[in-house]
Amino acid sequence: MNKMAHLIVIGAGPAGLSAAATAAEQGLPVTVLDEFTEPGGRMPGQYHEEGSKGWWVGKHVSDELITRCSELGVDIRCGVSVHGMEYTTTWEISTSCGLFTADYVLLATGAAEIPVPLDGWTLPGVMSIGAAQVMTNVHYVKPGERGIIVGMNVLSMTIARELSVAGVKVAAITLPCTNPLAGAAADPTASAKLLLQLSGLAPAAWMRAGGKLAAAMRMEGLIARCYPHRGFRLWDIPVRLRTAVLSVNGQDRVESVTLVHVKPDGSPIPGSERVEPADFVALSGGLYPLAELAAVAGCKFVYSPELGGHVPLHGERMETSLKGLYVAGNITGIESGLVAMAQGRLAAASMVHAAGLGGAKGEQRVQEAIREVDFTRKHALIQFHPGITEARTQLYQQWEQTCGSGV
């Protein structure tokens, strides 16, 4: 199967579908490739409160984008795995369904979960927090009757809220026990800092105000030292910052977990072990950019902890170091779905303008899209890492110093 298209979008998530619809509206033919059986990415399983705006329901947003793409003639092909990319006079995309070629390519491959190894994690009933989300919100199957979430970060807290709303019993959110692979995930101080970034999602006004104040005063160290071992309840879920999972127990499946109290530095307190019944355990180590295809293509990379790890070097217009190759969404750094959608629209505006289809207003549309991304990021309630704005400014400066100047 050989398919000529002006634009190929790899990834049918929020960034990819938003880019496809925007590009198609401006007359750029678009083909979307995705390895999953249905478009939408992780959106169908996501929902959260957006302050006074009410609930953001990913399934509704996904359906609207898919319908819009269909109306505009976007060719969405699911079940297609991309395993190679090479630029000659055009981009050649090697897939499980043959070779595709295009003048422009957008990588919107999203992110992947970071595993959290611990004793007993191979037992049936142990899963990633994302798997628990998909089971509950997409397939409407409870992951279990009583579960423990291991890892305190933006991902675990937002999905814990989703599970609670869906009627799934979460007995506690805890830390992993200190081990060589756990890193900062087992550190109460680092986890407290991440929790303060989520204060805007707290159910009570006093929690939101107190969280913002504590974050501004950098009180995460004090919080870790003074935090009670019994924790506190958030959405009726015990959040235990000073408790870690020592092991997952069971014969043929998860039956319980062994918990241990920890010191402010994350080290276990001898003699504080106890067994908690559970039939599922959800592990949450956060997310990292899924950027292997960018590496295969030959992109330059930079490392940024604030953006989630190694990301393709790209400019403010979402262009990479390679001609005709653009990026959008979590491959550029871990942020919310709303930011990914805005980035997708920006990348589309940039490619349409580069292709000469934007007319006299092409540059104006690009600048408006840049401002939209900045506004969306500034007002996003969900912030995966502190310092995202500063990290992106440094990234764009580095791109200008290298690719922007033609070096």
Q: Give tens-digit pLDDT for 1-31.
A: 444 458 999 999 999 999 999 999 999 999 9
Q: What is the mean pLDDT of the chain?
A: 87
How many whole angstroms from its chain centre is CA 171? 25
pTM of the predicted structure, to 2 decimals = 0.88
Query: Region 226-254: what's the mean pLDDT?
Result: 84
Positions of E strands within 25-177: 30-34, 47-49, 55-57, 75-78, 82-87, 91-95, 98-107, 111-113, 126-128, 147-150, 170-176
CA atoms within 13 A on the CB side of 403: 22
Q: Which of 281, 285, 292, 263 is nearest to 84 (CA)?
A: 292
Residue 235 pLDDT level (bands cut at 50, 70, 90): confident
Residue 180 pLDDT level (bands cut at 50, 70, 90): confident
Q: Give tens-digit pLDDT for 312-369.
A: 999 999 999 999 999 999 999 999 899 999 999 999 999 999 998 878 899 999 999 9
Tokens matching residue 201: 């999602």
Question: What is the set of domains in the chain, with CATH numbers?
Answer: 3-112+287-404 (3.50.50.60), 115-283 (3.50.50.60)
Residue 198 pLDDT level (bands cut at 50, 70, 90): low
Q: Give the rounded percent of residues in the chain with a pLDDT score beyond 70.
A: 87
Q: Give the rounded percent of residues in the chain with a pLDDT score beyond 90.
A: 63
Q: Give tens-digit pLDDT for 274-283.
A: 999 999 999 9
Residue 144, H or E segment: none
